[in-house]
Amino acid sequence: MANVEVSLKEAMTSIDGALGVALVDYTSGMALGTLGGGKDLDLMVAAAGNTDVIRAKVRTMELLGLQDDLEDLLITLGTQYHLIRVLRSKSGSGLFLYLVLDKGNSNLAMARHQLRRIESELDF
């Protein structure tokens, strides 16, 4: 099992095109850990904003009466992919991994696969 810091480093080094990654508590909107980012990618602001995205999707699923689990969300920008992976374990309840990828240097299918693997090894 890997801790948060190791998991974030794994995401940045094993996922081609990774620009930034965060572990976020969507009950509070606070990032529990971040790696990467920069002046054009404030991961703390992104963590709070994407918390609203998760909450809206969960609320919409409830309104629709969908009895299913939210796995991940993809936001496609002109030059980036923003991938939000909701953690499935009981210890990860209320958390999500947020990954920003350079669209031109990444493979979305592989990034999703790697993020799922990192989630399975995450221990906190």
pLDDT of residue 124: 63
Q: Tell me the pTM.
A: 0.92
The domain ranges of the chain are 4-121
pLDDT of residue 91: 57
Question: Whole-angstrom Cα distance, residue 11 to residue 89?
Answer: 19
Question: Whole-angstrom Cα distance, residue 59 to residue 63?
Answer: 6
In which band, very low, low, confident or very high, does the pLDDT at 39 lie, cut at 50, 70 and 90? confident
Fold adopted by 4-121 = Beta-Lactamase (3.30.450)
Determine which helix (DSSP H) or strand (DSSP E) holds 6, and give its type and residue range: helix 4-14
